[in-house]
Amino acid sequence: MKIWPINYLFLLISGFTVICVTSVEEELSDTFHVNFLEPLKNLSPQRVKVRGVHAKFSLRKPALPDDDMCYIVPGKEESLGKCSFNTTAKTFLVIHGWTVSGLFESWVAKLVAALYSREKDANVIVVDWLNTAQNHYALAAQSTQKVGQEVAHFIDWIEEMTNIPLDKLHLIGYNLGAHVAGFAGSYANNKVGRITGLDPAGPDFEGVHAHQRLSPDDAVFVDVLHTFSRGSLGLSIGIEQPVGHVDIYPNGGSFQPGCNLQGALKKVANLGLLAMNEAIRCEHERSVHLFIDSLLNEEEASKAYRCASSDMFNRGMCLKCRKDRCNTVGYDARRIRRARSIKMFTKTRAAMPFRVHHYQLKIRFQVQTNQSETEPTITVSLYGTNGSVTNFQLDVKGKITPNKTHSFLLVTEEDIGDLQMMKMRMEDSSRRPVSSLISTAWSWWNGDSSCSEIKAKKISIRTGETQKKMMFCLKESKKASLSPEVTFVKCTAWGKSCRR
Ligand SMILES: *[C@@H]1O[C@H](CO)[C@@H](O)[C@H](O)[C@H]1NC(C)=O
Ligand SMILES: *[C@@H]1O[C@H](CO)[C@@H](O)[C@H](O)[C@H]1NC(C)=O
Ligand SMILES: *[C@@H]1O[C@H](CO)[C@@H](O)[C@H](O)[C@H]1NC(C)=O
Ligand SMILES: *[C@@H]1O[C@H](CO)[C@@H](O)[C@H](O)[C@H]1NC(C)=O
């Protein structure tokens, strides 16, 4: 059995990646073949014809979000009345993805309940295509088009029967379900209002033509959360490319906090597949829980920021909201006109509520000694009207270059209120406090060049969530040169005298 982990990793890396998730715990050892290798046998190029998919449409009730009590059957008008379909309310279609177990995963009921808690009168309909979705991955993936057509047929019929305006129709699809939603949108007679793709499946969809996957053409507004994209290790359970009008990549679209994928990977040789499976499932399904969070914690909605790359975002360079550059994560995402394939980023906590507060610190290191490059460890503490965050280590990527403005991202889990003060400590790579450097060699600059001749020792801080920008000035202290930690306070007076 020792060789399984190696095989498993090989399979993952070779792109047949959806061999992950669902409840494989029990049957792990002996039925390894059945669960993991079997699906691959059907990856042969000629594709199997799929017929008779038969998606079912279960209108769930707020009191029983887990139970299928009433099916709406296209062609049977009386089923609408029987299920108490509300023709003036919003309608959600929740579409699941690929499944090994053939059962609904636990997130379905959670999402249904969350939708009802936000939209009391809504019709939350779960699209059940489990029979087809439990096929080998390749076959299930190929069936998304057929299932999508059935869903489109359902939409056309319900529109004809009830005259509901399609802008009140919102399709929410996870994994393969996102592509089902895409096909449904493209085959429906009229354009549906919104499709939300929750980590749309990657294998067999990455890089294909827009007609063959979820795309911005499929609804008036298509928003997508990517939580497990190829970025991590060449795995691609979720699709990496943007496929909507707005594509949000929480934590860069990979390595979600609390999922410990990195840890599981390191231990895969001895701890094995269990930890690995759990981690992968956690990453992929995080998209659903972020969406649920946005429904339940409206007041604490996460914000995402447009950015060219995850790396730039991690350096705090993208926290400006001007010109639609930021948006709300999840249910309250705003439609942006003419937008298409916009990549947005955000950081999250490890658990619900997921929101964090983002800060950009801009610091200019003015080195007067002839030390050309250093890579110090910089930790900062922020103190606000409502709390503080202490000893946050800045990610000093690469070397610090003298006389250049560097930008850093700092996130806090708590809302610490309006910033009042900050402290900073620097140590060089050898962990020697650079106290001597602080007083003589480093100074702080505010980014407004007109100030530079004043030798202002400043740090500029922008808060993403409030869009407030503040200057912090080095608090002069006789003891400064002796301490590795320096204090900065708000410098309103300075700021004014410096503005151009
Ligand atoms: C149907 O939904 C509307 C809101 O769109 C609500 O005002 C009304 O009470 C609902 N009707 C029933 C019977 O629940
Ligand atoms: C940085 O700027 C200061 C003041 O402008 C100057 O004295 C110093 O030599 C510069 N350092 C480097 C390495 O260019
Ligand atoms: C700084 O270092 C460079 C080479 O690294 C050297 O050429 C230059 O003379 C030095 N300047 C001072 C002031 O030490
Ligand atoms: C600070 O906390 C108090 C109560 O704890 C709250 O009323 C107030 O809104 C908070 N202020 C900010 C800026 O978060």
Q: Which helix (H) or strand (E) holds 419?
A: strand 419-427
Total Cβ atoms within 10 A of residue 38: 13
Give the mutation target among 386, 413, 415 for probing the ligand 4 site: most ligand atoms within 8 A of CB: 386
Please compute the mean of the pLDDT values over residues 437-460 and round it to a whole number.
Answer: 42
Beta bridge partners of 249: 345
Task: Please work out whether the CB of residue 89 comes within 6 Å of at least one atom of ligand 1.
Answer: yes
On whether 30 is known to bind a ligand per the annotation, the reply is: no
Residue 246 and residue 325: Cα distance in Å, rounded? 11
On whether 311 is known to bind a ligand per the annotation, the reply is: no
Please report which confidence band the pLDDT of residue 486 belongs to, taking 50, 70 and 90 as the band edges: confident
Please compute the mean of the pLDDT values over residues 100-121 and round it to a whole number.
Answer: 95
Please compute the mean of the pLDDT values over residues 398-427 and round it to a whole number.
Answer: 84
Query: Crossing angle for the helix pair 261-271 and 273-296, nearest 10 degrees?
Result: 160
Instruction: Write the residue with the smallest CA distance to atom 8 of ligand 2.
Output: 368
Residue 207 identity: G
| C-alpha of 494 from chain center | 39
Task: Please work out whether the CB of residue 162 comes within 6 Å of at least one atom of ligand 1.
Answer: no
- Looking at residue 1, its pLDDT comes to 32
Ligand 2 atom closest to Cα of residue 403: 1
Q: Positive or negative, the Cα torsion across 236, 237, 243, 248?
A: negative
**Is the full-model pTM beyond 0.85?**
no
Q: Is the pLDDT of residue 148 over 80?
A: yes
Window from 143-147, 409-413, 435-439, 484-488 with minimum mean pLDDT: 435-439
Q: Is the pLDDT of residue 143 over 60?
A: yes
Please compute the mean of the pLDDT values over residues 492-496 and round it to a whole number.
Answer: 50
Instruction: Write the residue with the smallest CA distance to atom 1 of ligand 4.
Output: 386
List, in sequence order, the alpha helices (H) in 163-304.
176-187, 261-271, 273-296
Report which bound ligand comes closest to the CA of 417.
Answer: 4
Give the mutation target among 88, 92, 119, 124 for probing the ligand 1 site: most ligand atoms within 8 A of CB: 88
